Chains A and B, each alone.
Chain A
Amino acid sequence: MSSVEPLVSGGWRPTASLVRAALFSTALAAISVGTGRADLLVLAAPFLVHTVAAVSARPGRSPRVASSRLDHASVREGEGTTLEVTLADCEDVEHAVVSLARGSYTSTRPASGVVGSEALPGERIAMSVDVASLRWGRRGVGEGVVAATDPWAARRWGPVRLLPGMLTTLPLPGAFDSRAPVPHPVGLVGTHPARRTGDGSEFASIRRFQPGDRLRRVHWRVSLRTRELHVTSTVAEEDSSVLLLVDSGVDIGVSEGIRGAASTLDVSVRAAGALAEHYLHQGDRVGLRVLGSTERNAVAVGGGRRHLRRVLDTLARITPGEHHDVATGRMRFRVPAGAVVVVLSPMLSEHAVGATVGLARSGITVVVVDTLPAGLVGDVSAEALGGEAGDRRQTVAWRMRLIERDHLLARVTRVGVPVVAWQGPGTLDSVLRGLGRRLRSPRTVAR
């Protein structure tokens, strides 16, 4: 039996081994009797034993697949779960085998995905295969076949198809850290220094005591010198909102999963996950909007650990491709007041550039994180782009597309949107500090 054989339904079928033993022994016995050669009867004897033993124990019931399920419905990239296949009614089963089909971005232990199990009569047979998901997304895992063999390998049941279970693989957020404050926090409590004074840890000024000031804030040295009570005031700390805009319209490059090369969409999704995790752990509010053909494409701005799970779950459901019915000019992003919009895009599509320019023109603080991997800039082989090796046309087409991208990036920078390549920790630091300085200076906004 193999996993590529056509599947057969029905009960127990005689195996090649039984047919071989039965035909060989019977024919040899007949020839032995007919020719009177006793040595042929001796040669037939072991196969007669096999045939008699196999035929005398006819299986009564066929086994059935009682369950085939994954231990977890969702895992992180690179993490694994276990596929448990249980056969019931195994009174006549001596050995069972499960063979999983090789799926993209999944790996199994054992690597072949084939696991066999010896059966004890009258018991259920449970077989388990460890399955790891190597790329974010939702995909069917556990597709394969299961078969069973009766005693003396005389009959085989199956192979019976195992239907795949849906496994959601949450993106493993890339490493990210930022020490720069978000330009204009507007919430109640958080970690970003606000423009107003209030409860916080960062020194603002020393001022005269006012009713309501805490005694521990009294600055005794200044108070004694001026003979009037003075207190230390601090800058209030507030939270802020960050809206992540992920461009899923294009996916360039070859994705080899968590351990290999990354496509543009891989970089975007993992960077979005990293930003969401960082800001939500800081106590900020984070929202998500996916630009593309993904069905569930928006997560409202919110905070907390559960919200991180919602964001990652939506990122895992991203499907690459453009939604041609969506006019980016008419899209409503529901950006909260004071929020910073971080656009994660390789900037290769008009949709993403149109949305970015539109948001910037309406006075919203926008930062573009360029998610085109460094390996795809410049002279790139067609193989790295997912094409056939040595395809010069594809290489030339990619060069032309990079020139077009330069024009699109120039359009974005013309409206004052900073563009920064994704580099993990510290990617946004200089950009956010620059935005903070710019926002403190007067400006005109086109409405």
Chain B
Amino acid sequence: MSLLTGASGHLDRVVRASFQQRVLRGVAGVAAAGFPVLVGIAGGSAHPWGGAFLVLLAVGLVLMPDSGFPLAWMSAATLLWVASMPDALEASVLVAAGDLVVVHLACTIAAYGPPELTVPAGLVRLWLARAALMVSVTALLLLATRFFGVLDVPASAVVFSTGLCLVAAWALVLLPRLVTRDGAPDS
């Protein structure tokens, strides 16, 4: 299958998609393409090529929400954030996290089934509640880190190594769950 045929196949899917799917993909696309603008509004330095690359990846995730494009976009967006923004715990961090959440969840719901699928309204409401929970925890963490920043707690080797150990342990817990299958095999 050539690249052109593959792309036209995905375009066909967008054409066949239900109204809800089009809205979800549209939301994901707008949020993804708007991230460089958001960085600019937050006072970040301009990276035209980085922004263009993000928009390109945004097109990919709109066409294929159930692929590696959303992860690639999220990684590229974070790189752009790191490169453009200083280490500051401003409200813009929460807005950026919210933008990432919107892209992630829009792609998640759009990947529930074939493009023609309309996900039940009850499930969409459940995801809105989940999104609210995720953003709330993020806001709390932002407040907590700002609070500790105000206290001016000095960075120490103990905190650093504890953090690394926690991340490594978490990765060890996570890895088998990502590579194995749960539940009994189908009969």
Give A residues with C-beta under 8 Å from B. 1-3, 9-24, 26-30, 33-34, 36-43, 45-47, 49-51, 53, 55, 58-62, 64, 92, 94-95, 97, 99, 110, 112-114, 116-118, 147, 149, 152-153, 155, 157, 160
Contact = CB atoms under 8 A, between A and B. Distances in A.
B71 A39 contact: no
Contacts of A149: 112
A58 B182 contact: yes
Contact of A12 (B16, B71, B183): B183
Contacts, number: 193
A34 B164 contact: yes
Nearest to B121: A118
Contact of A152 (B75, B94, B130): B130
Contacts of A12: 181-183
Given A11-B184, A61-B183, A20 B178 contact: no
A49 B167 contact: no
Given A12-B182, A153-B108, A99 B113 contact: yes
Interface string B137-153: 11001100100010000
B114 A99 contact: yes
Contact of B111 (A9, A15, A117, A118): A15
A118 B18 CA distance: 17
Interface string B84-112: 01011100011011001100100111011
Contacts of B100: 43, 46-47
29 contacts: A1-B112, A9-B185, A10-B181, A12-B182, A17-B107, A19-B178, A20-B71, A26-B171, A28-B78, A30-B164, A34-B164, A39-B81, A42-B97, A42-B141, A45-B141, A49-B134, A53-B130, A62-B186, A64-B186, A95-B120, A97-B112, A99-B116, A114-B117, A116-B118, A117-B120, A153-B109, A153-B112, A155-B182, A157-B183
Interface in B119-167: 119-120, 122-123, 130, 133-135, 137-138, 141-142, 145, 149, 155, 160, 163-164, 167
A43 B93 contact: yes
B170 interface: yes
A295 to B, nearest CB: 34
A345 B146 CA distance: 88
Contacts of A47: 100-101, 104, 134
A67 to B, nearest CB: 14
